[in-house]
Amino acid sequence: MTSIKLTQTVQKGGCAAKVAASELRSILSQVRFPPTPQNLVVGAQTFDDAAILNLKDLQTNSKSLVQTLDFFTPIVDSPDWFGKIATANALSDIYAMGGWPVSAMAILAFPLATMDTSVAVQVLQGACDKLIEAQTPLVGGHSIDDDTLKFGLSVTGLVEADQVWSNAGAKPGDDLILTKALGTGTLTAALKRQTLEEKDIQVALESMAQLNNILPLLGSLRSHVHAATDITGFGLAGHAMHIAKGSDCSLELQFSKLPLFANVMEMLEAGFLTKAHRTNAEYTQAESELGNLSPLQQKVITDPQTSGGLLLSVDPQFSQAITQSLQKKFPMTQKIGQVSRAQTKKLIWI
């Protein structure tokens, strides 16, 4: 095997790759940040080494910490939308665990040589607008000068210790509820290839930027959610399979019940696919009984979602009430199947 000299693969290395302090200060001075909470002892204002929050003020004795991190390259053309979507996507992991975010830190890779810094300002402002909506402070972050724009967040949250959601709690007989429509992978592939414009996928943009904060909608119904996950890059099939494996059960799913964005089937038929359509299909194939699904329908269930909805496994006695509650802010919410005892295959498509 040929030895690789890593230093020869990059133009800048280590901390020398940071965005210059003067340029970073200029960018940040143009962004309106979320309000500083009282429990934030040290934040980003003084460029200190790390953030410090007073946990005593958060009354954490009965709570557990939730931590996640997510970042990616642009999926849309507008910097503002990119910042909003990347932020909603990162926060989604906290909501999928039944928690709520308490702080966030930005991850920014920015091509200073080829892109005006006003783009970074717009990305960060879009992110901060979503963080303000989520009542979550941005307490710091890290930026580097890179060849390709990348953005995301590291997020810390809290969850009631006795009310944690995971992908391992589904029970036979549960109903399966999906909260957002599918198809962002193929729609944004068409956007990238300039067949569609952002105005053509406005509904999908708004969906990707919508926070998956469903706890306020559920109230006491949250105790009837047995398992949850958010549908992102592995597609509905991949994340559903994780629930089935984690819970040692099978999922029976109805394709006809899946909510889809407009133009998704048309764009799939036109061949607007991503590499993840193929890798997701390969990943789930051995555990899937595809029934009478057509080749196009199979691409829908492996479509890589960005900031997709939540897939919930819920007590069937309360599934209608949960669905109706969620539809107040997530109008595409739909019951899409049921949980069964473990069968030969983890995913059974009807």
Phi, then psi, of 104 in degrees rounded to 5: -140, 150
- Selecting among 15, 16, 21, 113, the annotated active-site residue is 15
Phi, then psi, of 36 in degrees rounded to 5: -85, 120
Q: Is 128 part of the annotated catalytic residue set?
A: no
- DSSP string covering 105-162: EEEEEE-TTTS-HHHHHHHHHHHHHHHHHTT--EEEEEEEE-SS-EEEEEEEEEEETT
Would you tell me how many other CB atoms lie within 10 Å of the CB of residue 225? 24
Would you tell me how many other CB atoms lie within 10 Å of the CB of residue 166? 16
Phi, then psi, of 21 in degrees rounded to 5: -55, -40
Number of H helices, E strands in the chain: 11, 13
Q: What count of Cα atoms within 13 Å lies in the side-chain half-sphere of residue 309?
A: 27
95 CB contacts (<8 Å, ≥6 apart)?
A: 211, 212, 213, 214, 215, 230, 310
Active site residues: 15
